[in-house]
Structure 1
Amino acid sequence: MDFRVLGPIRLHTAGGSIGFGEPRRQAVLAVLLFEAGRTVDVDVLVDRVWGESPPRQVRRSLQAHITRIRRALEQADPGSTYVAREAGGYRLVVRPEQVDVHRFRNALRNHPTDAATLRSALSLWYGEPLAGLRGHWVERTRRTLREEHAAAVVAWAEAEIRGGGAASTITQLTELTDEYPLRETAAAALMRALYAVDRGADALAQYERTRRVLREELGADPGPELAAVHGAILRHDPRLTATVRAAVPAQLPADITAFTGRAEELAELDRLTGRTGDEPVVIGVTGTAGSGKTATVVHWCHRERSRFPDGQLYLDLCGYDPGEPLPPTEALAMLLTALLPAGAKIPLRPEERAARFRTEVSARRMLVVLDNAATVEQVRPLLPGTSTCVVMVTSRDSLAGLVALHGAHRVQLDRLPAADSVALLGRLIGDRVTAAPEAAAALAERCVRLPLTLRLAAEHAVSRPTTSLARLVDELQAAQRALDLLSGGDDQRAAVRVVFSWSLRRLSPAARRSFAALGRHPAPLFDAYALAALAGCPLDEARRQLDVLVRAHLIHPAGADRFGMHDLLKAYAAETGDDFDAHTALDRVYGYYLATVSAAMDCLYPGEAHRRPSVAAPVSPVPAITNVDVARDWLGTELPAVQALVARAVTRGRPEHAVTLSALLFRYLDGHHQAVALAINRDAQAAARATGDRAAEANARIALGGVHHQAGRIELAAAEMWAAHTLFEEVGDVLGQARALGNVGMLTESAGRYPRAAYYYARALTLFQQVGDVTGQAHVLTRLGTVEVRMGDGTAGRQHLDEAKVLHRRAGHRFGEAWVKMGLGELAAVEGRPAEAVRLHSEAARTFAELGHGDSEAWAIDGRGRAESLSGHPFTAADQHRQALEQFRRHGDQVGESWALNGLGEACQADGYPAMARSHHAEALVVATRAGCQEQIARARRGLARAAAPVDTQTARQHYDHAIAIYTELGLSAVEATRAELAILT
């Protein structure tokens, strides 16, 4: 059952298309469809269908229409009830996803930058929405839908342009600018698209057309965005191209020193990547461990990187590490993090991530290296869908499924030819190889002619410059003979192990112990502190041993003071050290990370230290966390390792560490690193369930709710918060219940439902007072005072904010105190003290910047913009709102984005640019609708009314009516000012 209102009102079923007769009946059905699944009051139905002057027997007419609609639906689906009579009204018993308008709006709400999803949403339109219907509600709804459609076209076009598909957008953008010649966002997008396809002259002509219309119709000049695009085109500014193209990653590891041989394989890669066709080029480079698969691919990629100007992605899938392979959903998050702007929202579900990845690489000439794949299933979701991409997959597996199902080409790496093996030894050892060619050839054979073992043997030879190669061959042969007796002989892996052991034997006992310790490290990268914890040695000793292992080619540098290890060597290292107590070593390394994370969090957020779990003093060295910069940098660097540790704790019998790390990191991850936060907190939830710790599970669900809230997934966020509340009730955790209720209040506040938010905050406050939690009281007092200010109760708001300030200061909680300053800044603004409001918001912004909370800083900057507007400085205000808007978008905060867009629109209106104001408010309306922020929907409507008032009184009145209805429903004082503006208009 597919209901359609984005065109004629129709029902599409497997049996065909069904109409519903006369327009009044269609209008009744349309109202029910727009409220699908919700009860619609009879009076609302009458008002929307018949308007202000309904006939005397209107309820009888409505009942007759309902009866015929019910009959038509039951004939289409016998045995089902589709129209239910409920107290006071009627409800259409269908799911919103069965109605095209809800599918369209959900696509805009959940995937605002996904070109494929937006394209699909636009395809739902079959003509004029609500075609053939008339009436006040119909016309108002139709105008809203047209605005949303226009905004969706621009959003889709921008997504296509970013992905390199500008050519596909030009026709629709041209039609849109013809229909809406004053819509500057559409004109700017069209200019970018034209410039991207080398039609710069046409882009300049479009600017002149738009400029002329703005002058003739509104007496205004083009706004900053349009003017900036125009100027960039005139200058051929490369930054304009940067706005057209997405981020250009360059993730290839360093090329391999002294790479030797593989001429045939490199030539085959040249041949395969030179093929043309409609499918992406996927190449599987397979071979035994140590055969140089990664080295060969990385060497080829460096040689040919200029062929891929849109970027090179590299991802180690850890398919053969001692730990778990990288799950595809996490791999997709890492790839999207490299492709998207910092802080951009990463989809929640794996299939959405895969679709977003394909969208981001669509039409881009990119190289994607997927290293160390365990199985085809691990790779399949990571494959692009465009012929412009080349994908290199390395694996010990034959990747037969990739070849059979995805048309991949396989390049098999065997052992190096004898001549190439000797040549590699010559490049690494030097003249001794030339002087003793037979011994060099024998050494190559004893190393099984594998690049990894050849390099280790060469390092062994270099470290013993006075020992002949023949002597080294004899030593290696003797060691292999001994192992052959134990293993049955003629085992290539046994020979590799002998070379490893040969390299290891020349090391000191401390270096061998360090090597064994690193084989047990749960994370892929490590530093001296991690080694000191694993090996139980002093820090200086750990640093010395890392240097020794690097020189021995047993580990490799992987960044500043960070190191990695080949998975084959790591697996071997994990088998060595018979006397090594791996269990105790892991306890020490977890202790190191727990203690350092705790210290960093105490430095950044001292006011919440009592809420975080207590951590035992570490038995190994930890870095000195001396200030907030050091704390923030350490957490940022070590976050991938901590994520790996959390995942390892869940699967390897230490679930309590996963729970503790998640709880420690709560505030740091709150509003940051969405993909990592989601993974860590999900692991923590699983760990808590495994141990039966329901309070810990509730804490993890609160954290997950925060991630969903930040990403705009309000329903999921609310579900997590209420689930956490239930769990806390079951275990009698009053503090947890208070935290959950406070978070529900924040969700409610985001929607603009301030009285209801105040109710939840008051309940939470009572519980926080009951358990004596000062920080919790301070937090909810801050939010309670702020919403009271917004509801017009300045006296109560000031009292609660002042109480919160005292409590935050007592706890040393600068983060919370900065939010208090923002609330007091709002109060100063409404009481006519804009200069004080500017000062308070500026102080809050500085604090958030120091703590590294970009999203909170954006709220402070946006509040400063509102204060500047009240000070009579609209130009300065617009600049502040633009800064805030950029940061909100970077952090994926849609509620904040709607606030900043409305602020920008109000500043433009005050500065005499109604067309620009209209554009910003229209965009705010779309974003606020997507985020479910009712207050900002009303604010956008009010702004649109002001922008339309001079030239279109009817449209202005409709927008005012919408705004008044929402403000009235929310119980906000803005309703009176909005009514006054409407009265002046009429």
Structure 2
Amino acid sequence: MHPVGTFGWGALAGRGYEVDFRVLGPVRVHAGGRTVPIGEPRRQAVFSVLLLEAGRTVADDMLIDRVWGETPPQQARRSLQAHITRIRRALEEAEPGGALVARDSGGYRLAVKPEQVDVFRFRRALHEHTADAAALEAALALWHGEPLAGVRGDWAERTRRTLRQDHAAAVVAWAEAKINAGEAASTIGRLTALSDEYPLQETAAAALMRALYAANRGADALAHYERIRLVLREELGADPGPELAAVHEAVLRHDLPPQGASSPVPAQLPADVAAFAGRTEELAELDRVTTGLVCLTGTAGAGKTATAVHWGHRVRSRFPDGQLYLDLRGYEPGEPMPSTDALATFLDALLPDGARMPLMPVERAARFRTEVAGKRMLIVLDNAATAEQVRPLLPGTHTCVVVVTSRDSLAGLVALHGAHRVTVDRLPAADAVGLLRRLIGPRVDAEPEATAELAERCVRLPLTLRLAAELAGSRPGSRLSRLVDELRAAQSTLDLLSGGGDQRAAVRAVFSWSLRQLSEEAIRAFALLGHHPAPLFDAYALAALSGDDVDQAQADLDALARANLVHPAGVYRYGMHELLKAYAAEIGDEPALSRVYDYYLATIAAAMDRLYPAEAHRRPAVAAPAAALPAFDDAAARDWLDAESPNVQALAAHAAGHGMPEHAVTLSSLLFRYLDGHRETAALAIHGYAKEAARILGDHTAEATALIALGAMHMQAGRTGPAAADMWAAHALFRETGDLLGQARAVGNVGMLEESAGRYRRAAAYYTRALTMLGTLGDVTGQAHMLTRLGTIEARIGRDEPGHEHLRRAMALHRRAGHRFGEAWAKIGLGELATRQHRTADARRLHSEAADLFSQLGHRGSEAWAIDGLGRAEASSGHPVDAATHHRRALDLFRVHSCRDGESWALNGLGEACHACGYVATARANHTEALAVATRTGCHEQVARAYHGLARAASSDTDFATARSHYGQAIEIYTELGLTEAEVAKAELTALR
């Protein structure tokens, strides 16, 4: 017999036994391929108590209480002993010399390992493999019916209830894992059975709704919500809780991933540090962290980032849900990254394709916490300036590990958030020498004394040690002792200048020493880059700073990269460690930053002129810079704007806050069309800086222009109140300054708000007013825009002849100006008109041509309107399946670009197509969602259209009372808006009666 405590699978393997104790079903012992009976129910109860306390002593009184309840018989102890005896015999039969029921002081203990008992294996899988579908599937396979089947009593019933809850949690976890793997359909049966068994369990209901939606059964998901809502109201008098309500809202918004798509698993850690050495104690401290917040604090250049990244790579398997990394730029010469921008960056990585990006900081923080809740992720927040910068980026649950690096002590995070602080100081002497050995090679061992002094002269900081090693590597013929002599001399000079004993002076000496291998041109380039206001740079930006040609600038960057003074950060772009950047700024005079801004403004203007030539007259004039500009075709122009977007945000912030407000204003004005409709985060930042800068300048025209841009962003996001406020504020400022073009833009945008609401006649009045102003000014492009909008809404309200004339004139003006963007919108208007006149071939062609033009220009949000128009054309020609395909594509694009009005249009189109195909429930679900979206955004026409669709669905279900009510609501709104659809709805209602 094996001693107690050493028995287990390994001990049995030699005898060919595999003993399995099972309670997830009938209580039994399984050994050697056969089942050994335990006996009558009371004995099974005794055995079950011992199994569920495997390896622990259970007191006699506890056994009696659990088996016989509160009123045991007088002979309970004798009966217990008899049952124990028979259990021992059964176990001996199952496992000769194996499992033992031991008698301890005051109780009994079953000497088995927990992993031999199915319930412990099940619970371990549930707790340790929350996102592993295969492991959870195996755990669920351990269940063989009702747990503790046949065992009676209160304790058994309580235990069964707990085990059932665990089983339900495992089913939900398994289903979530399968849904995330794109296998939602395979979970619906099991989730449906679970929800039927436990109709009040909201977690199961939420999982089933997610599965149904992911399997393209959104209508069924909404119907299931309605069922459980009614059950909760009838049984408990309560409404669904926050989780279920949130899933319902997400289904309505189409804010859950479709089948085959899952939330991306980010892997953002930078590359591991080459030749990482030392930090044994710090890494061990990090290894002990399982959840929560860690602050790596210490002096600049100590290797905080390297330590965090190296540890992250070492333990990345602990974080199956991904790793997030972000440089918060807390110590760069420019402004630290705002928390709201940091949240946007994280959400870009976390949200499924097509999910909406919240625009307000509070909304972003809440969505971030939602996305990481319950996930096991590593989040590295690098170079944080303050605790306040970090707080909005902290998860709301403790399943993630957050590592923050900072020169600050971050006392607030330690005191208020329980952060564990790990100090990253200078390397121990042995580790510093070890790092030099890895970087330099055998020369270190040949001159141990010189190496030791070199390490001390480098202050034992990894950054300076690497620079010294790079210099040693570039001079393979020199002895290390000679290099040390040179460094000693450099430090002596700096000690005299600084008063001596200053670690910063020592670090500066290493930096200065590392520059000696470089040419004068490269040293000058290094010094100039210390003043560059953006985080990244390329050869063109350096050429603008230095006044050299681009080839020389690229050669300088190559030399600096070889010396580890700059590092690659994307295609042809570079970055610089903030400590090196600060030193670089010290050693040279500040250049005229106007040269850098001149370069960026001119390059942006060139890119915009390439993409949007017809609107060049609306953008501010930009002087030709002395520096060379990159050559652009259409694709290169868009790629450059995309790649430089983070730099432009940094430049705008720097200009607004460092005495160059006019540059912030110009950046905003130049980029308006590029940012319009598809870069909300960047647009709000850049236009916001422009508004601040304009107020600093007292420039009302510039402030009004920024307000127009901000209002356009609000309009895109469906915030009509703020949008209208911004437009009218801009109009007042333009009128005050006598800027007629600005007034026309503001009035035209108010017209777009009215059009969005479906108030077409009021919109037409504003468009006509703006058109008159633009005609006075002779602004061809502006007139073409207004004619396009006028013609489109006239087509929608049945005024075909004037609509066609306005659109024909608009197309001619757009083509004369070479304005492809406007031409595409005119094609959409003409396509609308062709659809209404049942000229299907023309409608298809026009909408397709518009979609192609928008795609070439990179305006996917506008492309969505053309695709949605294709859907209406197909529906009009009796092809609802094709219509549904186009509406679905449009809906996905509208969601990506946060176009709420577009969502309501596409959803109603989907509903109409589904109804035409006979899918009434799905049609109802789409119209219900359209109604919710359109109500929030104030899009009245689509509210009426949704009611119209819901009336048709109710009529198909012979729910005539509901149908009449919805028809009445639709007719009332259609009539108020003056739309001909009112007559169609009235005719259908009459037929219904």
- Scaled by the length of structure 2, the TM-score of the pair is 0.75
| CA distance in structure 1 between the aligned counterparts of 2:370 and 2:209, rounded to whole angstroms | 22
Q: Which residue of 1 aligns with 2:28?
A: none
| CA distance in structure 1 between the aligned counterparts of 2:779 and 2:764, rounded to whole angstroms | 19
Determine if contact 2:326/2:382 at 8 Å carries over to the other structure.
yes
* Secondary structure, aligned partner of 1:665: helix
Equivalent of 1:587, from 587, 590, 594?
A: 594
Equivalent of 1:256, from 246, 261, 273?
A: 273
Q: Deviations over 1:825-872 (max 9, x none)?
A: 111111121121111100100000000000110100000010011111
Does residue 530 in structure 1 map to residue 541 in structure 2?
yes
Equivalent of 2:621, from 614, 626, 629?
A: 614
Shift in CA distance, 827/176, structure 1 to aligned 2, threshold 3 Å: farther
Alignment of 1:90-489 (within 5 A): 190=208, 192-193=210-211, 243=261, 245-273=262-290, 281-341=292-352, 344-489=355-500
- The more displaced of 327-336 and 712-721 is 327-336
| CA distance in structure 1 between the aligned counterparts of 2:422 and 2:933, rounded to whole angstroms | 48
Q: Which residue of 2 aligns with 1:91?
A: none
Q: Which residue of 2 aligns with 1:790?
A: 796
* Secondary structure, aligned partner of 2:288: helix
CA positional deviation for 1:386: 1.1
Q: Give the counterpart letter for 1:663 in structure 2.
A: S
Q: Give the counterpart letter for 2:264 in structure 1.
A: A
Shift in CA distance, 731/341, structure 1 to aligned 2, threshold 3 Å: farther
Q: Which residue of 1 aligns with 2:149?
A: none
Q: Give the counterpart letter for 1:632 in structure 2.
A: R
Q: Which residue of 2 aligns with 1:974?
A: 981
* Secondary structure, aligned partner of 2:358: coil
Determine if contact 1:835/1:871 at 8 Å carries over to the other structure.
no
Determine if contact 1:592/1:622 at 8 Å carries over to the other structure.
yes
Determine if contact 1:163/1:246 at 8 Å carries over to the other structure.
no
- Measured on the aligned residues, the alpha-carbon RMSD in Å equals 2.9
CA positional deviation for 1:809: 0.6
Q: Give the counterpart letter for 1:266 in structure 2.
A: L
| CA distance in structure 1 between the aligned counterparts of 2:969 and 2:192, rounded to whole angstroms | 30
- The more displaced of 319-328 and 257-266 is 319-328
| CA distance in structure 2 between the aligned counterparts of 1:191 and 1:613, rounded to whole angstroms | 52
Look at both structures and tell me which one has the larger radius of gyration over its CA atoms.
2
Equivalent of 1:707, from 704, 710, 713?
A: 713
Alignment of 1:58-69 (within 5 A): none
* Secondary structure, aligned partner of 2:826: helix
Structure 2: runs of 5 or more not aligned = 1-174, 228-256
Does residue 944 in structure 1 map to residue 944 in structure 2?
no
Determine if contact 1:163/1:362 at 8 Å carries over to the other structure.
no
| CA distance in structure 2 between the aligned counterparts of 1:571 and 1:468, rounded to whole angstroms | 31
Determine if contact 2:181/2:260 at 8 Å carries over to the other structure.
no
CA positional deviation for 1:505: 2.3
| CA distance in structure 2 between the aligned counterparts of 1:853 and 1:635, rounded to whole angstroms | 13
Q: Which residue of 2 aligns with 1:667?
A: 673
Q: Give the counterpart letter for 1:255 in structure 2.
A: D
Q: Which residue of 2 aligns with 1:923?
A: 929
Determine if contact 1:742/1:761 at 8 Å carries over to the other structure.
yes
CA positional deviation for 1:188: 10
| CA distance in structure 1 between the aligned counterparts of 2:456 and 2:840, rounded to whole angstroms | 81
| CA distance in structure 1 between the aligned counterparts of 2:646 and 2:180, rounded to whole angstroms | 28
Does residue 961 in structure 1 map to residue 968 in structure 2?
yes
Shift in CA distance, 401/718, structure 1 to aligned 2, threshold 3 Å: same
Q: Give the counterpart letter for 2:618 in structure 1.
A: R
CA positional deviation for 1:350: 2.4
Which structure would you say has the larger RCO, counting Cα contacts within 8 Å and 6 or more residues apart? 1
| CA distance in structure 2 between the aligned counterparts of 1:396 and 1:876, rounded to whole angstroms | 59
Q: Deviations over 1:334-386 (max 9, x none)?
A: 22222234575433432222222212211122111111111111111111111
Equivalent of 1:983, from 970, 980, 990?
A: 990
* Secondary structure, aligned partner of 2:494: helix
How many positions carry a matched residue from both structures? 776
Q: Which residue of 2 aligns with 1:731?
A: 737
Q: Which residue of 2 aligns with 1:832?
A: 838
Equivalent of 1:502, from 513, 525, 542?
A: 513
Q: Give the counterpart letter for 1:812 in structure 2.
A: G
| CA distance in structure 2 between the aligned counterparts of 1:753 and 1:532, rounded to whole angstroms | 53
| CA distance in structure 2 between the aligned counterparts of 1:796 and 1:159, rounded to whole angstroms | 57
Equivalent of 1:747, from 734, 753, 769?
A: 753
Shift in CA distance, 981/940, structure 1 to aligned 2, threshold 3 Å: same
Q: Deviations over 1:675-719 (max 9, x none)?
A: 110000000000111011100000000000011111111111111
Q: Deviations over 1:870-918 (max 9, x none)?
A: 1111111111111111111111111111111111111111122222211
CA positional deviation for 1:525: 0.8
Structure 1: runs of 5 or more not aligned = 1-156, 214-238, 274-279
CA positional deviation for 1:193: 4.7
Determine if contact 1:550/1:556 at 8 Å carries over to the other structure.
yes
Shift in CA distance, 336/830, structure 1 to aligned 2, threshold 3 Å: same
| CA distance in structure 2 between the aligned counterparts of 1:685 and 1:163, rounded to whole angstroms | 45
* Secondary structure, aligned partner of 2:423: strand
CA positional deviation for 1:161: 8.6
Equivalent of 1:879, from 876, 882, 885?
A: 885
Q: Give the counterpart letter for 1:365 in structure 2.
A: R
| CA distance in structure 1 between the aligned counterparts of 2:617 and 2:176, rounded to whole angstroms | 47
Shift in CA distance, 357/159, structure 1 to aligned 2, threshold 3 Å: farther
- Scaled by the length of structure 1, the TM-score of the pair is 0.76
Determine if contact 1:343/1:672 at 8 Å carries over to the other structure.
no
Q: Give the counterpart letter for 2:635 in structure 1.
A: D
Q: Give the counterpart letter for 1:968 in structure 2.
A: T
* Secondary structure, aligned partner of 1:370: strand
| CA distance in structure 2 between the aligned counterparts of 1:356 and 1:659, rounded to whole angstroms | 31
Q: Deviations over 1:441-497 (max 9, x none)?
A: 111011110000000000111111111011111111111112112212111111000
Determine if contact 2:655/2:664 at 8 Å carries over to the other structure.
yes
| CA distance in structure 2 between the aligned counterparts of 1:176 and 1:932, rounded to whole angstroms | 40
| CA distance in structure 2 between the aligned counterparts of 1:453 and 1:854, rounded to whole angstroms | 48
Determine if contact 1:345/1:674 at 8 Å carries over to the other structure.
no
